[in-house]
Amino acid sequence: MIWLWGFLAFLLGSVVVYDLVQKKHAILRNFPIIGHFRYLLESVGPELRQYIVTSNDEERPFSRDQRGWIYASAKRANNYVGFGTDNDLERSSNYLIIKHHTLGRMDTHHDEEKDPNYRLPCAKVLGAHRERRRAFRPDSVVNVSAMSYGALSHAAVEALNRGAAICGCLQNTGEGGISPYHLKGGDLIWQIGTGYFGCRSTDGGFDRAEFLRKVEAHPIRAIEIKLSQGAKPGLGGVLPGAKVTAEIAAIRGVPRGQSVISPASHRAFRNVDQLLDFVEDLADASGLPVGIKSAVGQMGMWRELADRMASEQRGVDFINIDGGEGGTGAAPFAFSDHVSLPFKIGFSRVYKTFAERGVHQDVVWIGAGKLGFPDTALLAFCLGADMVNVAREAMMAIGCIQAQRCHTGHCPTGVATQNKWLVRGLDPTHKAARLANYVISLRKELIRLSHACGVDHPALLNADHMEIIDGEFGSRPLREVFGYEKGWEMPTPENAAALRALMGGGGDTGEPGVYVEP
């Protein structure tokens, strides 16, 4: 009997050693032996859910179906489903339906052997309308959204940057400044928030000289001025002094060990006129495209911005609309649940405001807020978006299991924590491949869905390509639901022609139900 217990002890010890050494699964590295139960329960999840747990679509913020698709895509596993949909299409209200082209088309332009990464460039050249010196066409319409080092671990930030380099997408730094972990090969959009971290003067204001030094020293392709965030708009933040390590202090340009306050609004400008002056100054000095990120609430600011851009030479190069369903590491309950409009409503209102003044084509439109899935991303393109940003979906691709402990500092997978023991479980090199696989899979699905609708690129879709079921055996096209006029959301003829050339041809007209065989 002793030998049996000895054998079991040896077996368990071997498992512990293996779990601690392997780099594939952060859960197992951080929780040897116990972590295996998570995967065991996950493997029998469908059977358990049939009787005692939730259905595939009930969980929030992301359902099991959504998480499962991300995990499978990140691992290059089978992300298909069997036996048909488990959604109730007829009785579901606000359910999205993509309107395919009945005669279809041959999906030949993106054969996997020819293009394994499924490059999907942006329809517009970022910064071209205002002739910025360093204007460029983003190689990917799917990019990594703003997540700061501090909110995420250094290993997670590094994994995202390495993954972005592999799949050719952009990574937004978040407002916490540019860390060494953002510099592993991926190109950056530098987000500047109200704390001006990384370009901050000693009194907490904006330091223009430091801004220019950072621009010249790092692979920054564009500047994003953060006005607000979907998950907590109109709210500042506090980084406790205990978390301001020497490294964090150096990156953010703040004193070590002292609490740092991010105000609710900017000191460098107080109104739209001053905002445009600030934008033009940064663009002229750096040569980079400069845009804004904001949630949508009251519309006065947006109307004034569109009016000024229609009558003046000043303007932003891109607008990133963040929906109220977007995520954050921590936010008060009411702000997270009730402040700012959800993406579909907020984006369409702002886009309409610019379209009514004829300046919507002068801007690159970016959407964010649970858009990291083929159906929701496609909806954003149908409403006029040129690109989508993904945050929590990218986190799940590198290991997040939706434990929803981001605000506690005890993320079990090492993604949203600074706990050294937990962070060690996340191997940046391995997880970088997962992020790249996910982005490539999403781009692949967007291409396939676009082809199903009879066009070469999602930017050639319009608000007639999707309908919304009302749950009462009726449905309405997006154009009717959101009040779009014909042609608002379509690219200019020049951009459409450039896209067709970039995508390898195609004979589509961009009109639903009208497709000319090439």
The pLDDT score that the predictor gives to residue 48 is: 60
Asked if 364 and 387 count as a contact pair (C-beta separation under 8 A), the reply is yes
253 and 372 in a common domain:
yes
314 and 237 in a common domain:
yes
The pLDDT score that the predictor gives to residue 36 is: 80
| pTM, to two decimals | 0.87
73 and 46 in a common domain:
no
Q: How many domains would you assign to the chain?
A: 2
**pLDDT exceeding 70 applies to what percent of the chain?**
87
Domain end among 38, 53, 68 = 53
348 and 309 in a common domain:
yes
Query: 270: exposed, middle or buried (C-beta count within 10 Å: 0-12, 13-18, 19+)?
Result: exposed
Backbone angles phi, psi at 74, to 5 degrees: -65, -30
Q: Which two tokens stand for residue 213?
A: 């030094």
- What single string gives the DSSP state of each residue in 80-105? ---SS--S-TTT-EEEEEE---TT--
In angstroms, rounded to a whole number, what is the distance separating the alpha carbons of residues 348 and 344? 6
| Cβ neighbours for 376, distance < 8 A, ≥ 6 positions apart | 96, 370
132 and 237 in a common domain:
yes
| Cβ neighbours for 297, distance < 8 A, ≥ 6 positions apart | 233, 234, 339, 340, 341
Per DSSP bridges, beta strands 220-226 and 188-192 are parallel
409 and 331 in a common domain:
yes
69 and 37 in a common domain:
no
Backbone angles phi, psi at 164, to 5 degrees: -60, -40
Structural domain containing residue 231: 57-518
Q: Which two tokens stand for residue 399?
A: 């290991």
- What single string gives the DSSP state of each residue in 299-323? SHHHHHHHHHHHHSS---SEEEEE-
Closest by Cα among 232, 198, 202 to 215: 198
185 and 42 in a common domain:
no
Q: Which two tokens stand for residue 49?
A: 């859910």
Instruction: Render pLDDT for 294-326 as a digit per residue (tens, 0 to 9).
Output: 999 999 999 999 999 999 999 999 999 998 766
68 and 31 in a common domain:
no
366 and 319 in a common domain:
yes
Instruction: Render pLDDT for 481-507 as a digit per residue (tens, 0 to 9).
Output: 999 999 999 888 888 888 878 877 544
Backbone angles phi, psi at 413, to 5 degrees: -100, 5
445 and 353 in a common domain:
yes
358 and 242 in a common domain:
yes
| Cβ neighbours for 311, distance < 8 A, ≥ 6 positions apart | none
Instruction: Render pLDDT for 259-276 as a digit per residue (tens, 0 to 9).
Output: 777 888 899 999 999 999
| Cβ neighbours for 498, distance < 8 A, ≥ 6 positions apart | 123
